[in-house]
Amino acid sequence: LHLSCPRTHVPCRDGTECVAQEYMCDGEKDCADGSDEDGCAQLCDTPGQLAPCQSHEYPCGLGACLNASLVCDGRQDCTDGSDEGGNCSVPCQRSCTHLCYPSPQGPRCWCDPGYRLSEDGLSCMDINECMEQREEACTQTCHNAPGSYSCGCLPGYLLEPDGRICKLTGPEPMLLVAVQSEVLSYGLRSGREEVLLTADKDRVVFSLDYDLVERKVFWMDLATESIRWQDFNSTKKGTLVKGVRSDCIAVDWLGRNLYWTDGAAGQVLATRLGAAWRGIPEYTVVMDGDLDQPHSLVLQPLAGLLYWSEVGSHPRLVEATMDGSRRHVLLAQGLGWPTALALDLPTWRIFWLDEKLGSAGSAHLDGTSVKVLQLSWVRSPFAAAVCEGQLYWSERKAWSVQQVDKTSGKNRTVLLKRHGQPHGLQVPTWGSPTPCTNGCAKSNGGCAQLCLPNP
């Protein structure tokens, strides 16, 4: 059978799998047959291939790069001796803006690190690492400067010694995971596991979310078709609403509401976090009518926005204000079943895991800069979360919670593997420090009952 790869991927020589183009010649074998690393030393001599050497370096014949100051110095520094001889004796008389060095091919202009030689072969132009390397340069903010760049972090984060990665300050970030009838916490630094709550044995804790303000966990109970809660500060627990079925719930901790999707009915609904079940449903339909099997749902409380995926005949990712107005389709191409969504507000991106295509994707929150990675271990994702540089998700068929590098898709690790299917997954954080436009944040927006933000 002929293997068909997405345009962002290339086939391995044995024809059994595809790997991302950025995995080629990165020093790590990603193809089972290792063909993604074959012939990499000859890249300098391959017509049509960009030499990996920078503007201040000289490409040796066997693929190595040599500092230009060592060329034509009377000593062979390239293993094949290609840095000496030839026209090395021809003096430099070119009007180079930076430096002129002799070379076996004759005098050449060279640029300082952080610059690139212009097409005229004389002048040098600054390399904007922030634009060209993006997340590979800095994990959060990037500041370009002539010949260099520097990374910065948002409030609440601290720059690591490598000068590139930002880590959360304060308490250890925790991953909340629903496995069968239990909710576990997993320390993302220590790896420490703890059972936070246990529901009745015949119950399955399905989708879950966390209220940062009152330290309550909310979850969907399929057995009783209800959304329930439990207080982590005490033994208090209760039922928020009954008579609902949902694949995903999400807490607006700022506007004090809870949202959920109903795929069968094609609706997004909401109720107050402080509601109590009194025998009569107290919720409102936020969106109805033209939703094609809404599934995963994530919120941006400070901005008063919600995002959801649709897994019907025309899969798409959509954004709207929390009152259901001002809808905007972020992405409607290249999707199969985007069953798990996660926001990464420090980088202003939305991530998704696609069960049908076996992939992990991300895009800027305006729908641009789409990046998709084929990952063979993405088979039955239910929920996802992003924290710092990692993407986490729950795999129902493999009964595990896994993580990969959110940018490259590499370094897969199985964090948890229990006897039972994992479902809901969250990393509770306050989000990115953006200006608050959630009109329900103060005094419930002046509403007597339910307030839905319209920033």
Dist CA 205 CA 220 (whole Å): 6
Nearest alpha carbon to residue 168 among 387, 412, 314: 387
What does the alpha-carbon distance between residue 162 and residue 259 come to, in Å, rounded to a whole number? 40
Closest CA to 261 of 383, 373, 357, 439: 383
DSSP character for 443? G
Instruction: For residues 418 and 10, give the distance between their C-alpha atoms in angstroms, rounded to a whole number.
Output: 35
Q: How many CB atoms lie within 10 A of CB 455?
A: 17
> Would you give per-residue pLDDT tens digits along the chain (455 residues)?
456 776 667 788 887 777 777 677 777 777 878 888 776 654 433 333 334 677 778 888 766 788 888 888 888 888 888 888 888 888 888 888 888 888 888 888 888 888 988 988 899 999 999 988 877 788 889 999 999 999 999 888 999 999 988 999 888 999 999 998 899 999 999 999 999 888 877 788 889 999 988 889 999 998 889 999 998 877 788 899 998 989 899 999 989 999 999 999 999 999 999 877 777 778 899 999 789 999 999 999 888 999 999 999 999 999 999 999 999 999 999 999 999 999 998 889 999 999 999 999 999 999 999 999 988 889 999 999 999 989 999 999 899 999 999 988 988 999 998 888 899 999 987 655 455 566 677 777 677 678 887 86
Check: CB of residue 439 under 8 Å from CB of residue 451.
yes
Q: What is the pTM of this model?
A: 0.78
Cα–Cα distance, 338 to 356 (Å, whole number): 8
Between β-strands 267-272 and 284-287, what pairing exists: parallel, antiparallel or unpaired? antiparallel
**CATH classification number, 129-166, choose in 3.40.190.10, 2.40.110.10, 2.10.25.10, 3.10.20.30:** 2.10.25.10
Query: For residue 416, what are its two tokens?
Result: 């948890």
CB 427 within 8 A of CB 176: yes
Are the CB atoms for 370 and 405 separated by under 8 Å? no
Q: How far is CA 128 from CA 4, 55, 133, 363, 395, in A?
A: 35, 14, 8, 21, 39
d(CA 39, CA 393) in angstroms, rounded, equals: 35
Phi, psi for residue 136 in degrees, rounded to 5 = -70, -25
Half-sphere exposure of 259 (CA within 13 A, CB side): 32
Protein fold of 1-38: Low-density Lipoprotein Receptor (4.10.400)
- Can you identify the CATH homologous superfamily of domain 172-446? TolB, C-terminal domain (2.120.10.30)
For the chain, what are the domain ranges? 1-38, 129-166, 172-446
